[in-house]
Amino acid sequence: MCLAIPGKIIEISPDRSCIVDYESEKRTAKIITDDISIGDYVIVSNKIVVMKVPKEQAVSYLNAIRKS
C-alpha cells in the first residue's frame, strides 16, 4: 500500500518508528537506514521506509497527482 506515493515524515520515535503524513491520512512505519530525518519524503512498503525521495521531486509529483 502507498508504494507509489511519497509521504512526509512528521515524527520519529527513539525506537526508529515514525509517522508518515499522506495529507489524507497518517501512517506509522519503521526506519531501517540512518539517512532519514523529520521532513524527509519517503516511500513506505509493508510499514517499512524503503526509500527517500528528494524533496523537490516529491513535491512536484504530489502537485501533479493533485491536479489529475
Partner 1 sequence: MESVEKFFLKYAFPCANVLVDMGEISQEQFERVEQACKNNEQVSKKELEELFKAAFRRIKQIAKEMEIEDYWDKKVIEEYWHRNHNVIIDEEDGNYKNFPQSFCDFCKVHIAKVEQIISPELALIGYGNTKRPIFTLFVPDLKVGDKIRIHHAYAVEKAD
Residues engaged in binding partner 1 (CB under 8 A):
1-6, 32-33, 35, 43, 45-46, 48-54, 57-58, 60-61, 64
Taking the complex as a whole, the smallest distance from the CB of residue 17 to partner 1 amounts, in Å, to 14
Q: How far is the CB of 9 from partner 1 (least distance, A)?
A: 15
What's the min distance (Å) between Cβ of 47 and partner 1?
Answer: 11
- Annotate 27-47 with b (16+ C-beta within 10 A) or e (fewer): eebebeeeebeeebbbbbeee
Q: Spell out the alpha helix ranges (H) of 1-68.
A: 55-67
